[in-house]
Amino acid sequence: MDDENHESGWPLRFDSEGCFRVLQLSDIQETSHVRDDTIALLRAALDEARPDLVVLTGDQIRGYAMEFSLGESEERARTVVRKICSPMVERNIPFVVTYGNHDRQCGVGNEVQEGWYKVIPGCVNGLVASHEPQLYYDAGTLAVPVLSHDGKDIRLAVIVADSGAGSGSAGYEPFDPKITSWITESEKELAERAGHRVPCILYQHIPPVQVYDCLRDACEGEHGVPGFRLHYRPGRTLVPIDDLRVSGGLKEPVCSPDSDTGEVAALTREGSTFAVYFGHDHKNTLVCHYGDMDLGYAPSAGFGSYGPGTARAARLFVFDEKNPALYTTSLLTYAELVGSKTGRPLTDWASERVPVSIEEARELARPAIPVLGAAAIAAFALGAAKRQRKGK
C-alpha cells in the first residue's frame, strides 16, 4: 500500500488467525417497499457469516418495476439503496458495490447511484476512490486490496466489475474490453506494489460465456436446462460436466452475452485471478472449474423478483492468508437461517416455477405440442367431414 494508507491503517485485512470472510449478495431486486423476507435473509446471513466484507453483485434495484415510472423515481431508488444497506450499516460491516442490468432501468444511472452508496457508512467504493484512485476505474468497477493480518503485505484483492446492461429478449452487452484491460493492469499494479503476484477474485453480475464450456448435453432421464439465445437448440438441454462441477447446479438457462470479448482469456493469461463469481440467473448455484479458474453463481438473495423459493441465499467465502486461492464457499439459505415459510408463499411458489426466458418457455411447451397438433388435425378433419355431409 502507499505510505498514506499504510500509516492511516487500511481497514481490510486478514484477522489474527489468518482468515478473511466475504459474503456475496446478488439479485436482491427490490422496490422501495422492500419485503420483510429480504431484510430477514440479509440480517440472518450477516449474523451467521460475520463477514469482513460484503460484495453486492448487481441488480440491487428492480429497475423495471412500475413504481419507477410513476414519478419520484430517484427518491424511490435511493430508498431501496438505503434499506438494503441498513443491515450492513447496523453491524458496521464494510461493503463494496457493482451493478447489474436492472439497476439503471429505474431511470437513474449507475454514476448517480454510486454517489448514493459512497456516502453510506462502510461503503468501500468511496474509500478506494478517495485513497486508492488508481484502483478505481468507474462506478461499480474497482479493486479492493486486502492486507495481511499485520498490515505489511497485500495478500488478496477483491475486484468488482460492471458487466453491462441489456435484456433477455434483446441480449446482454458483451463485457467491455476496456474494463478487462483495466483489471489486468490493476493486477499487475498490485503485484508490483506487493513484490509478488496477488491472488485476485473477481465479482460481476452477468456470467461469462465460458460457463457453457463447463456443460454437456443432458442424457435421457437427466433434468437439464435449455441454452440461451445462440446456445439454444430445440429439444436440447444442458447439465454440468461431472469432472468440472464443484458444487451446485442449474435450474434456469445460463443467460450470458452472445459474444465473447476475451475477458476470461485475458484473466487467464495474466494469471492472478483464481475465480470469477456472478449472479444474474437467480436460481442457479453452479460452481465449476474452468482451467485454473473457478466460475460460480450466487443465487438471488432477495424476494423482490423470481427466485428459488426459500433456497434464496447469500454466498459465503472464507480465504486463508497463506493461500487465498484455496478458499471455501457455501450458501447460507433462507430456509436454513430464517425458516420454511415466507410472507407471500403463493407468490414465491409461482415465481420459482415461471419460465424466465423464451427458450425455457418453448421447452416447457414442447411436450404439449404433439397433443395440441393432433387435436388441431382431428378438429380440422371433423370439420371437413361435417362440411362433406352437408354437401351431400
The domain locations on the chain are 3-356, 357-392
Query: 3-356: which CATH number, 3.90.245.10, 3.60.21.10, 1.10.12.10, 3.40.190.10?
Result: 3.60.21.10
Distances 170 to 165, 277, 346 between C-alpha atoms, Å: 11, 24, 30
3-state secondary structure of 77: helix
Cell numbers 474490453 correspond to: 177
Whether the CA torsion 385, 387, 388, 389 is positive or negative: it is positive
For residue 195 the three cell numbers come to 513484490
Helix axes 110-118, 124-131, angle to 10 degrees: 90
Q: Are 23 and 314 in contact (CB under 8 A)?
A: yes
Strands 293-297 and 95-98: unpaired
The pLDDT assigned to 387 comes to 44
| 201, 273 contact by CB (below 8 A) | yes
pLDDT at 7: 39
- Tell me the β-bridge partners of 145: 157
| Segment holding 48, helix H or strand E | helix 36-49
CA distance 321 to 148: 7
Q: Say what the pLDDT of residue 202 is.
A: 98
| CA 237 to the chain's CA centroid | 22
- Distance of alpha carbon 111 from its chain centroid, rounded? 20
Angle between helices 110-118 and 73-90 (to 10 degrees): 40
Q: Which pLDDT belongs to residue 169?
A: 74
| 35 φ/ψ angles, rounded to the nearest 5 degrees | -70, 145
Provide the pLDDT for residue 368. Answer: 59
**Nearest CA among 158, 162, 93 for reference residue 132:** 158
CB atoms within 10 A of CB 343: 12
The model's pTM is: 0.91
Q: How far apart are CA 232 and CA 226, in angstroms?
A: 6
Q: Tell me the average confidence (pLDDT) per consecutive run of 10 residues in the chain, 392 residues long.
A: 50 96 97 96 98 98 93 93 98 98 95 97 97 97 97 97 85 95 98 97 98 97 94 96 98 96 98 98 98 97 96 98 97 98 93 90 76 48 44 40
Q: What residues have CB less than 8 Å from 29, skipping those under 6 apart?
A: 59, 60, 61, 62, 102, 300, 302, 304, 305
* Residue 166 pLDDT: 82
